[in-house]
Amino acid sequence: MPLTKPLFLQGGLDAEMQQASQAQEPYAGMIAGGNIISFLDVILSDFARLESETSTDDDQQAAAHERFTNDSNEDKAVKTTAMNHKTRQKERTEELTRNLKKELSLTHQELDAALNYYDKLKPDCVDQGLSYEDRVANRKSEIESLQEALRVLNGEDIA
């Protein structure tokens, strides 16, 4: 039977010859000693190496998880504290706003009452077209009448 090389394999006739010669020899394994004890020793060392690598990886992953958990708990505590602080600050601000609105309402009521009173007094205080001399004469006569009333109250004779 002629040896034919499939198109997808690389290598020359030399590689095909090597494969053919290996197929005729019995398989001795890849163990140097060639016995079962050596084979079991290799398996045991491979298992020990794999167990060591796995436990090292597990320890690293557990430490990473512990750090992540601690960081997450710390971050949660900080954010919870900040949220509580901001909630209290919001409540204080809302209370202050309510109080200021009440105070503003009362101030507006007082201002409206003062403006109404001002409008009521304004005609008495505004110049009604009297000249300066007339105002001086009215003031002089008002002072004289007040002095006369004072003398009457003090019990003095009216002359």
Domain that holds residue 71: 33-151
In a domain, 103, yes or no: yes
In a domain, 60, yes or no: yes
In a domain, 2, yes or no: no
> What is the token pair recorded at 19?
């494969």
pLDDT in tens, 48-70: 999 999 999 999 999 999 999 99
Q: Which of 3, 9, 5 is nearest to 21 (CA)?
A: 3
Average pLDDT, integer, range 23-42? 71
End-to-end CA, the chain? 168
pLDDT in tens, 76-115: 999 999 999 999 999 999 999 999 999 999 999 999 999 9
In a domain, 159, yes or no: no
In a domain, 120, yes or no: yes
* Predicted confidence (pLDDT) at residue 8 exceeds the cutoff of 60: no
Using the Cα atoms of residue 7, residue 11, residue 14 and residue 18 in order, give the sign of their dihedral. Answer: negative
- Say what percent of the chain tops pLDDT 70: 75
